[in-house]
Amino acid sequence: MAVLHLLPAAQRAPLPAAASQPGRGLILGARPTRKALDRRQRLREAGAALFATQGIENTPIHQIAHAAGVSSRTARDDYPSRAALLHDILHAHLDALTEAVGAADERHANAEPAARLSGVILALFATLRANRHAHALLAPGLPSLPGPAREDIAHAGRLVTFRLYTIIEAAVPRLAAARELRAPITRLLLAALGNAAQWFRDDGALASEDYAALLARLLIDGAKSAIALHRAEPLP
């Protein structure tokens, strides 16, 4: 189960130019062509699936290249190491999550807080399901990255969690006075969605919209109860 990590701002370190550019896989160079971007997308998708099912250390670049329909030489030109490819996989995934949350929040900006949260959860869930292999690599993949790349991915994860807990706080205003609970509650949401992305079926008993609404309600009610218990107050 992958969980995005929140690191204190004091631990954030300046990133090298290559690590701060999503889609570059820690590689410096000119802006890639459309053809190169499409090729790297195929390599990321193949790499995520193979890394997640076989293990990062057990998957050579040439196997990923073959699965993506790319020559080994070209694949190594794009990603000279597994760490470079893994960095790009994780960064692209976190970028997609950030974009999904932001776009959904804009669409539901005028909705009441619970409906706004439900809409954001639905969009986030759809993105996680479409990228479940990449998401499954977040926790085991971070230790495989060099320091600057690891910090880069942690920072990208913070962008997702920060946007999410501002939306959760709008639905549960009392969280503003219980800041120590914001990160755990946000992580619980991400963990629940990441886990559900592995087993959820479109032909199951619950539609994704209903699951998102259910999770939003559980999160709101649970957060209120957690605040009351944390502060030894009567339950709402």
Task: Render pLDDT for 226-235 as a digit per residue (tens, 0 to 9).
Answer: 998 877 555 5
Half-sphere exposure of 155 (CA within 13 A, CB side): 18
If asked whether residues 176 and 228 sit together in one domain, one would say yes
Same domain, 137 and 103: yes
What would the mean pLDDT of 39-57 be, rounded to a whole number? 97
Summarize pLDDT for 163-216 with one digit per residue, the tens: 999 999 999 999 988 889 988 999 999 999 999 998 999 898 999 999 999 999
Whole domain around residue 49: which residue ranges?
31-80
Q: What is the pLDDT of residue 212?
A: 96
Q: Is 55 found in the same domain as 141? A: no
Residues 141, 61 share a domain: no
Is the domain of 35 the same as that of 114? Answer: no
CATH number of the domain residue 172 falls in: 1.10.357.10
Q: Is residue 10 part of a domain?
A: no
Q: How high is the mean pLDDT of the chain?
A: 87
**Cα separation, 20 vs 75, whole angstroms:** 21
Axis crossing angle, helix 182-199 with helix 147-171, rounded to the nearest 10: 100
Tell me if the pTM is above 0.85: no
Q: What is the CATH number of the domain that holds 58?
A: 1.10.10.60
Using alpha carbons, select from 27, 53, 13, 48 the residue that is nearest to residue 138.
48
